[in-house]
A and B are shown apart, each in its own frame.
Chain A
Amino acid sequence: MKAYIKGISYYLPETIITNEEISRRFPEWSVEKIISKIGILKRHVAGEHETASDLACKATEKLLTEYNIDKSTIDYIIFVTQSPDYILPTTACILQDRLGLSTSIGAIDVNQGCSGFIMGISLAKGLILGGMAKNVLLITAETYSKYIHPKDKGNMTIFGDAAAATLISTEGIAEIKNFSFGTDGRGAPNLIVKTGAQRFLKPMNDLVFDEKGNLKSSDHLFMDGAAIVNYTLDYIPPLVVDTLEKNGIEKKDVDLFVFHQANKFIMDLLRKKLRIDEDKFYKYYEETGNTVSSTIPIALYHAMSKSVVKSNSKVLIAAQGLGYSWAGAILEFTD
């Protein structure tokens, strides 16, 4: 038995924040500076009453239509999100009902950030190889915009909301080969929304700005950029090496590298560090920003539609996520 990606679709919410708008709000950040350093042209954000599960439904409806999938064949949902509808119950259960899927299925939420897509396909592959499911619907969806303080220009510039729906099945377009995983919980404080769950239930109202206008608030998304850069430099090059080893291949055997599309700065840093040729290093962040767990499926969608991946292409996917949690895998496209 083998597990394959059978189809990928995605959905972006309607509202767009342009660089011009960010520059208007934060005159110290010019449009040119955002483009040259961050490389993102625009990002989509969910509406006030629009949740990650709303985006998830739209992405799934597109997937079912674009690949002509009979939804009664879906026998498991994995919903990767850190923007659930409720503390409880599980949002995946709500999605089963909203999508009109069979009641004879399993449904779980997975709380992971940027490594979430790769963690999700690893679970889906396990379900399929274990004979427990035949068609796993993996949805990645985030609305980080709701966690970002309106004066936080850094995170506002980087992150965009999105959902991607991927069907993992016993046959399809790309075989899911072997994985490499990593976790280091010491990194937890470096990308965090501290309050609102059980450790710190109540808001702390401790917003502070440094002399350059960067803010820190326990009640909003906080990212320690310097720590994340060092984390990326420490863990991602060895992750790529380990992913190659676990698949018994060498770097030259990889036709395309599709990394987590964090932003231009991080992508350029990794490409240089790993000495990957430009034409083998796929980039898709300009139009969407960093959509957390959806960046890799969105990038794969575009790489497939522009025929950047061809029959028999070996694609190395890799992501560094909060937690810290990181993961890599090889996808081998079929004939």
Chain B
Amino acid sequence: MELKKFIELFAEQFDDTASELFTPSTIFKDLEEWDSLTALSVIAMVDEELEKRITGADIRTSKTIEDLYNLAISN
């Protein structure tokens, strides 16, 4: 999966955040809507769409959406 598609899917886990705020360098934990539930939705999305597994530790160590993408595809 390309980074562009990953960012689209990542953005779909949010309800109230404008789509232009999602870029490779977005520091996702700074988004106002980001919380523990969004983290779970992202884990489920990565499982479903990439058939990859990311952990809570992966999310904690990633800063940007691109960081998380790189971790997800390498898992």
Q: Is the CB of B40 within 8 A of A226?
A: yes
Shortest CB–CB separation between residue B28 and chain A, in angstroms?
A: 12
Query: Digit string of A245-289 for contact with B (CB within 8 Å is 1, else 0)?
Result: 000000000000000000001000100110000000000000000
The majority secondary structure among interface residues of chain B is helix
Known interface pairs A212-B35, A212-B36, A229-B40; A224-B56 also in contact (CB < 8 Å): yes
Q: Is the CB of A233 within 8 A of B34?
A: no
Check B11 for interface membership: any CB of A closer than 8 A.
no
Query: Digit string of B16-60 for contact with A (CB within 8 Å is 1, else 0)?
Result: 000000000000010000111101110110011000010110010
**Chain A hits for B35, CB < 8 A:** 28, 212, 214
**Interface residues contributed by chain A, number (CB under 8 Å):** 21
Q: Is the CB of B43 within 8 A of A226?
A: yes
Query: Digit string of A222-239 for contact with B (CB within 8 Å is 1, else 0)?
Result: 001111011001100000
A229 contact from B15, B29, B34, B43, Cβ within 8 A: B43
Q: Is the CB of A154 within 8 A of B47?
A: no
Q: Is the CB of B44 within 8 A of A269?
A: yes
Check A37 for interface membership: any CB of B closer than 8 A.
yes
A-B Cβ contacts below 8 A, count: 46
A226 contact from B15, B29, B34, B55, Cβ within 8 A: B55
Q: Is the CB of B44 within 8 A of A229?
A: yes
Q: Is the CB of A226 within 8 A of B39?
A: yes
Q: Is the CB of B55 within 8 A of A230?
A: yes
* Cα of A36 to Cα of B33 in the assembled complex, Å: 15
Q: Is the CB of A230 within 8 A of B43?
A: yes
Known interface pairs A269-B44, A272-B48; A230-B53 also in contact (CB < 8 Å): yes
* Cα of A234 to Cα of B41 in the assembled complex, Å: 16
Q: Is the CB of A225 within 8 A of B36?
A: yes
Q: Bin the interface of chain B by size.
A: 10 to 19
**Chain B hits for A224, CB < 8 A:** 56
Q: Is the CB of A233 within 8 A of B53?
A: yes
Closest chain A residue to B34, Cβ basis? A212
Q: Is the CB of A265 within 8 A of B56?
A: no
Shortest CB–CB separation between residue A29 and chain B, in angstroms?
A: 9
Q: Is the CB of A226 within 8 A of B56?
A: yes
* Cα of A155 to Cα of B43 in the assembled complex, Å: 19
**Chain B hits for A230, CB < 8 A:** 43, 53, 55
Query: Digit string of A187-227 for contact with B (CB within 8 Å is 1, else 0)?
Result: 00000000000000000000000011010000000001111
| 14 additional A-B residue pairs with CB within 8 Å, beyond A33-B37, A224-B56 | A33-B15, A36-B15, A154-B36, A212-B35, A214-B36, A226-B39, A226-B55, A229-B40, A229-B43, A230-B55, A233-B44, A234-B53, A265-B40, A272-B48
Closest chain A residue to B53, Cβ basis? A230
Shortest CB–CB separation between residue A164 and chain B, in angstroms?
A: 27
Most chain A CB within a 10 A radius of its CB, from B35, B41, B55: B35
Q: Is the CB of A225 within 8 A of B39?
A: yes
**Chain A hits for B43, CB < 8 A:** 226, 229-230
Question: Can you offer 21 A-B residue contacts whose CB atoms are under 8 A?
Answer: A33-B37, A37-B37, A37-B41, A154-B36, A211-B29, A212-B34, A212-B35, A214-B36, A224-B56, A225-B40, A226-B40, A226-B43, A226-B56, A227-B55, A227-B56, A229-B40, A229-B44, A233-B53, A265-B37, A265-B41, A265-B44
